[in-house]
Every structure is written in structure tokens, then in C-alpha cells.
Amino acid sequence: MRIGLISDTEGNARALAADELGWLRSLPEEFVLTDGVYVCHGMPGNPWNTFWPAHPTYDGNLTAAERDASLRMLTKANASVVLCGHAPEPAEYHDLLPDGRPLHIVRAGPRSDTAVDYAILTDRQRWEVSWHTTGIGA
């Protein structure tokens, strides 16, 4: 199984057709994509923060209680992989769920007016991540 994760920018939404943009807006803010793979914009339960790893500027308002609640949410969802799009740079991070199971987090990475970074995950008994960049057409 392969999964693509793209970090996009508000400016690119204008390049989408109305039906494509409508479809994107109809999607849930976060969801289980497939067994064990949880998709969210920032962190589970809060689309505007990310805590893998915590960033002093961007995540200074994140409390320990919010982090614990997010990890409990992932435990209930039986997640082993989290795909996050709200990220200033691509990152791969490992954490532990409250029940002791490993958690693999992949953040998509930066975007600009000319390029979007994305990650492709391939399941080969464990998730392998490869990083890519694509140009944005005018």
C-alpha cells in the first residue's frame, strides 16, 4: 500500500475547479484513512497545532493536557501512523501512545508559490517514507 501526503497552500485552492474544491471542503477535518493510519491537519483534536516535535514558536500554547488528550484519541482510533499537513518543514518522528504502542508521525513539509513538498509512505512490514517536491503550475 502507498499513501501520498501533500501540504498545500491557500493560493492553490484558487487553481482547483469548483467541484474539486467542494469535494475537498466536504472531507472531514481528520479521519482514519485505513487500518492504523490517522490523517489530520495539525494534531489530532486541534488542526492549528502540531506537537511532533513541539516547536517553541508555533506550539508554545500547547498544554500537556492537550497533548495527552490527542495521544488518547489516537489510542482509541488504534492508530500506528499519523499523517499531518500543518508543518513548516518535512519531518518524521516517533512517539509512544499511552498504552505503550509505537506511533510513527509524518509531516508533509513546506510549500511556496512555486513548489509543494510531499511524502510517500510505503508499507513494507514497516512504513518507509520518501520525500518529494513538485512544482505548482501557473
Q: In this structure, what C-alpha cell is assigned to residue 78?
A: 488504534
Tell me the pLDDT tens digit for each residue of 84-113: 876 667 788 888 999 999 999 998 777 777
Highest mean pLDDT among 2-6, 12-16, 44-48, 127-131: 127-131
- Per-residue pLDDT tens over the stretch 25-69: 787 888 998 889 999 888 888 877 776 666 666 666 778 888 889
Rounded to an integer, what distance in angstroms lies between the CA atom of residue 58 and that of residue 61? 8
**CB count, 10 Å around CB of 5?**
21
Rounded alpha-carbon distances, angstroms, from residue 69 to 35, 37, 57, 74, 78: 21, 18, 21, 9, 14
Q: What is the β-pairing status of strands 81-84 and 37-40?
A: parallel
